[in-house]
Structure formats: structure tokens, C-alpha cells
Chains A and B, each alone.
Chain A
């Protein structure tokens, strides 16, 4: 089996026509292939996220991750860029949607593309994957333990983001939700609330919650890593994309 792939930094057109940095990985085949926009987590456009982009390419998808902090911190290390973006108030929702739209257009413009694009995000990126799927024409969305899609903001909690569960009715595609049963943000109650909203909106979804896993259990370099949950979660994600992103 021919399994070569190409991974490289590219420039794509993001929100407002801005040129933004992105990390792209593509199988070196003629296709047609489905594609995935990977949304990096709040700690940044880092090595772990790029590893995920390569994983999707190795599994037969074109993939790209836009650097959401390109504008504030071009060329900076991921941690410095994350701190800079945070000090400036973080990534506005509207800009996130525009950057994911640009990433999806980049993927659909590849000669090997079958035109079908999914998105995935972990943590803050999980919420953003849901947000993007509510505003853009996508074929599959994966929310890995995104906090504040639903849920109640604790009193006195100085959040700069608001829940977006009311957008469930606007989702353009099926949603796969992967959660840790021990997570507090999103809590099992918040996940149940999201499920009710999906049902009420008549949207296609599948949720999986892993016992013994808390927040961030996919991250291999953090103490919350749960190998069994992460391995099964990856299998669920790839199966979901193979079903929804095939031509």
C-alpha cells in the first residue's frame, strides 16, 4: 500500500481576507479524499495539535490546522503566541468562523478533495468546532470535551465566552461528541443538556462519555491522559469521519 504523505506549513486566507499560517498534511494520492479542519486548543498551535493533523493524513484525510493566533503573534512560539492572544482577549467567535471557513476552502480547493469537510476541536476548540458547524456548510463536526457549548456559567465567573447551545438548530452536519464522565467542564449535566438540544432540533448526533476519564484525556503529554478512552475515542472519530466524509 502506498502511504506517503506531505506535511508542511502553508498560508491560507482566513477571516477578513487575512493571510494566516496553517499546518497542512495530505496523503500523496490522487483522491478523492475527505478533509478535516483541526482547531487547536487554547494553549496554541502546538506540537500535539500538529501531530493530530499528521494522524488524519496518515488515516487518509487531507487535514489542515489554521494558526488562530497568526495575527497577534506571527512566528512566535506556541506558548508565547497563546499568552499574547489571551492578553488581547482571545479569539473572537466571528473571526474563528472566518478562519475555519478559509481552512475549509483551502481543503476543498485541493485537487484530491472530494468536497466533503469535517472539523474537530478539543477543549476550547470543541466549542469552536460546534460554532463553526452552526455557521458553515460542513459534513461532520467533532466536539471533544468543549466547555460552555452548554452549561451554566458559575456565579461570579468572569467568562469571556458565552454558551452557544441555542445554535444546535443551525448545525449543518452530524455531530460527534466525546466526553469524560469525570469532567466538570463540560459536566455530565451540560452534556445531557446539549443532547436534549440536539434532540429538540432534530439533528443527527452521537455522544460517547468515558468513565474514569476527565478533561483533556486525549493529550498524551498531560496527567489526565487515559490511554483506553483516548484509543477508543480516536477509533470513534475515524469511523465517524469515514462514514460522513467519504464521497
Chain B
């Protein structure tokens, strides 16, 4: 089904898209049909910079298990680093 479900988050960072690196401002997460992954539904994450147009986009399509494993990996990596090391206010 098309779930229409869409979650948005403001983000800061960069990603590598079809035309090289770009600054990212928005992450969009939805559980819906993928474009490419061989499943009927996946967790689709788009890293976007709407001000730079539709092609300013880094896209991934993950199974539910993969998405949850990714969340755990991100949390584990952050927990292993000194608190605040990768936070936005850096001197």
C-alpha cells in the first residue's frame, strides 16, 4: 500500500549525491514502496536540501531490520565517542 506516512527532521551535515557532496537540511523518513530495493515496502530515508532542487538528494531504502540495525549502530557509535564530539556547536 501507499502509506502516505512521512516523518521529517531538520538536520545539519553533508551527503554525497549524484552531483557530488551537498549540504543537507532535511531528512525524510517513510515506510512505503521503494523505487529500487526488491521488497514491496521498505523504510525509505531521503536526505534532502530542498533549496537546491529535487535532485539534491541522497536516498536509501532499507528493510525494517536494516533500519533498526542502523539506528543501533548510530547509537553505539555515538555512545563510544566523547559526548558532544559531533554536535553542532564545535570550536
Asked whether B54 lies within 8 Å of A42 as measured between CB atoms, the reply is no
Q: Are A87 and B55 in contact (CB under 8 A)?
A: no
Q: Given A79-B59, A84-B54, A87-B8: A42 and B2 within 8 A (CB)?
A: yes
Encode A205-238 as 1/0 by CB contact (under 8 A) with B.
Answer: 0000000001110000011100000000000000
Q: Which residues of B contact A214 (CB under 8 A)?
A: 40
Q: Are B55 and A90 in contact (CB under 8 A)?
A: no
Our count of residue pairs bridging A and B at CB distance below 8 angstroms stands at 83
Interface membership of A194, Cβ < 8 A: no
Name A's B-contacting residues (CB within 8 A): 41-43, 72-73, 76-77, 79-84, 86-87, 89-90, 123-124, 147-148, 157-161, 183-186, 214-216, 222-224
Instruction: Tell me which of A82, A124, A224 contacts B40 (CB under 8 A).
Output: A224
Known: A83-B48, A87-B46, A87-B48. A158 touches B5 (CB 8 A): yes
Main secondary structure of the interface of B (DSSP, over half): loop
A76 and B5 within 8 A (CB): no
9 more contacts with CB within 8 A, not counting A87-B26, A87-B48, are A73-B53, A83-B28, A84-B54, A84-B57, A124-B4, A158-B6, A159-B3, A184-B1, A215-B40
- The docked-state distance in angstroms from the alpha carbon of A124 to that of B1 is 8
Q: What is the CA–CA distance of A183 and B59 in the complex, to the nearest angstrom?
A: 27
List A contacts of B57 (CB < 8 A). Answer: 80, 83-84
A222 pairs with B40, CB closer than 8 A: yes
Given A42-B2, A160-B4, A215-B40, is A76 in contact with B54 using a C-beta cutoff of 8 Å?
Answer: yes
Binds A, one of B30-38, B63-71, B73-81, B83-91: B30-38
Q: Is B21 an interface residue when CB atoms closer than 8 A count as contact?
A: no
B-to-A contact residues, CB < 8 Å = 1-8, 26, 28, 30, 32-33, 35, 38-40, 46, 48, 50, 53-55, 57, 59
Query: Hey, which chain A residues are within 8 Å of B4, CB to CB?
Result: 42, 90, 124, 148, 159-161
**Interchain CB contact under 8 A, A123 and B1:** yes
Partner of B46, one of A83, A157, A183: A83
**A80 and B54 in contact (CB under 8 A), knowing A90-B4, A222-B40, A223-B39?**
yes
In the complex, are the beta carbons of B40 and A123 less than 8 A apart?
no
| Measured CA separation A117–B17 after assembly (Å) | 41
Contact B46 A42 (CB under 8 A): no
Are B1 and A147 closer than 8 Å at their CB atoms? Answer: yes
Q: B54 contacts A72, CB within 8 Å? A: yes
Partner of A157, one of B5, B8, B33, B39: B5
